[in-house]
Amino acid sequence: MDNDDLPAVFRKMPAAEMLGERTILETFVDPGSMEEFWRRWYLNGFIDRGAGKVKFLRGRAGAGKTHFLRHLGLQAAAEGYLALQVDAWSTRLASIDELYRAAASQVPWDGLVDRCALAVIRERLGYREFRLPVPEFWGWVEENHSQSFPRLKVYIREETDKWLGDLDLDADWAAAVRGWVQRRLTGETEIEAAWPAWFRGEKVGARPRWALNVSGNIDKGNARAMLLSLAVLLKSAGYRGLALLIDNLDVMARTARVDGVPYYTRTTRDQACEMFRELIDQSHHAAYLFIVAAGAPELFENSKTGFPSYPALWSRIWSEVVTRQFDRFADLIDLDRLWQLDPADRARLAQMWRDCRSPEVERPPAGPSPETWGLEWSIVRRTVARAAGEGGDRFVR
C-alpha cells in the first residue's frame, strides 16, 4: 500500500525504533495484557528466583513487536533487571559467541564491577555503613578503622575469593572478576584495556590474558557458560537478572542479500537454530536469564528457511493444540491474534496514536531502509486506522 493512501495522522508517525523512551511509554498498549502476564509470572517470582526462560514473539509488520520489546525492556529495567536490546538487522546471531558479544558490548562493566565490589564490602568485609564511591574505600577504611596496608590487602583478597566461591561462575570468568574487583577495592582506578575487552568477547593477546589469569578468549566453546555467568553475576551484584530482548530475528529466514544486513546461509541458519534449541533445553539451569526474540511470520512459517526447517528447535516452540482461549504460557506468542481478540485494545491504541501528533524521535531505524519514515502498515495498523475513524474499510485486507 502506498503511504499516500494512509490517514495523515499515521503517515507522520515514525517507526518504533525512532521513538524516545517517553513516547514509547505514552503510546504503548499491552495487547491482551501479555506484557503484564510476563511481568507477573516470569519477571517476578520466576526469573529472579533462579530460573531461565526463552520466549518468541511473532507478528506481521506493524503489529508492534519493536514497540512491545522496547516497552518490556523499560519495564524490566524499572523492576531491577539489566535489560539489553539486540537488533538482528545490524548484528548477526549465528552462534552463541555472537549472541554473547551482542549482549556484553552493552553491559556497563565499570558500574557492574563497582556493584560487585560494594557487595564484597558490605556482605563479606562487614562495612555496611560505607556509602562512598568504591575507589574511595581504601582511604576510608584506613582513616576510620586503622587497618594496616598488608593486613587489609590480604583480607580483601580472602573475602573476595569467598564471595566469588559462593557463585556458580565459569572459572575464567571468576578469575577475571576477582582481579578487577580487588584492584578497585585497593584504590587502583586505572584498569588495563584488556579487562573490559575480554569481558566484551574481543580477542585478547596471550600476555594480557596472563595478567587477567584467564586461559583463553571467549569463543563458541565457552560463550554459553560466560553468558550464564554474566546473568549470575548481575544477580549477585544487585540486579534481579538479565533480560535479553532480540528484535527482527526474521532476518535469518530471508534469502535476498542486502548490503549492511546479516546474511544467513543454510549452515549459519542451522547453527543459530541449534543455539536457540540449546538455550531452550538448558533454560531451567540458566539462572536469572530471560530471553525474548521477535520476528515476522516468515521466521515461523517458512519450511525451508525458517524455524520449521530445523525440527529439533521447531518441536520445542510449536504447539499442535490450538484452542479458542489464548495460551499465555506458550513459548511462541502471536501478536496478531492478541490484537484480534481484544477490540478495546485496538481502539485504545488508535486513540493514542491519533493524539500523539509530534512523537519524540530518538534515532533512525536500524532496518535496511533507514531513510524511510512511517510504520509498516499491516492488518493490525489498518485495523487501528479503521478504529480511529480515518479511512474506513479500505485499509482492511
Q: Which residues make Cβ contacts (< 8 Å) with residue 159, sequence separation at least 6?
A: 120, 124, 125
| Helix ranges restricted to H, 282-334 | 297-301, 311-317
pLDDT at position 10, please? 39
Q: What is the pLDDT along the chain (397 residues), one digit of tens a residue?
A: 334 433 343 344 567 777 888 888 888 999 999 999 999 999 999 999 999 999 999 999 888 999 999 999 999 999 999 999 999 999 999 999 999 999 999 999 999 999 999 999 999 999 999 999 988 888 888 888 766 667 888 889 999 999 999 999 999 999 999 999 998 888 776 677 888 999 999 999 998 899 889 999 999 999 999 999 999 999 999 999 999 999 999 999 999 999 999 999 999 999 999 999 999 999 989 999 999 999 999 999 999 999 999 999 999 998 765 667 888 999 999 999 999 888 888 888 877 777 765 556 555 444 444 333 333 333 333 334 334 343 333 322 2
The H or E element that residue 25 is part of is helix 21-26
pTM attached to this predicted model: 0.86
pLDDT at position 359, please? 56
CA 336 to CA 34: how far, in whole Å?
12
For residues 386 and 395, the answer to whether their CB atoms sit within 8 Å is yes
C-alpha distances (whole Å) from 112 to each of 106, 278, 353 are 12, 27, 38
Domain annotation for the chain: domains and CATH numbers: 3-107+228-395 (3.40.50.300), 109-199 (no CATH)
CA 35 to CA 181: how far, in whole Å?
36
pLDDT at position 18, please? 79
pLDDT at position 143, please? 82
For residues 88 and 246, the answer to whether their CB atoms sit within 8 Å is yes
pLDDT at position 189, please? 66
In the chain, the amino acid numbered 271 is Q
C-alpha distances (whole Å) from 197 to each of 212, 328, 372 are 11, 40, 35
Q: Where do we find the cell 519477571? A: 43
What length does the chain have?
397
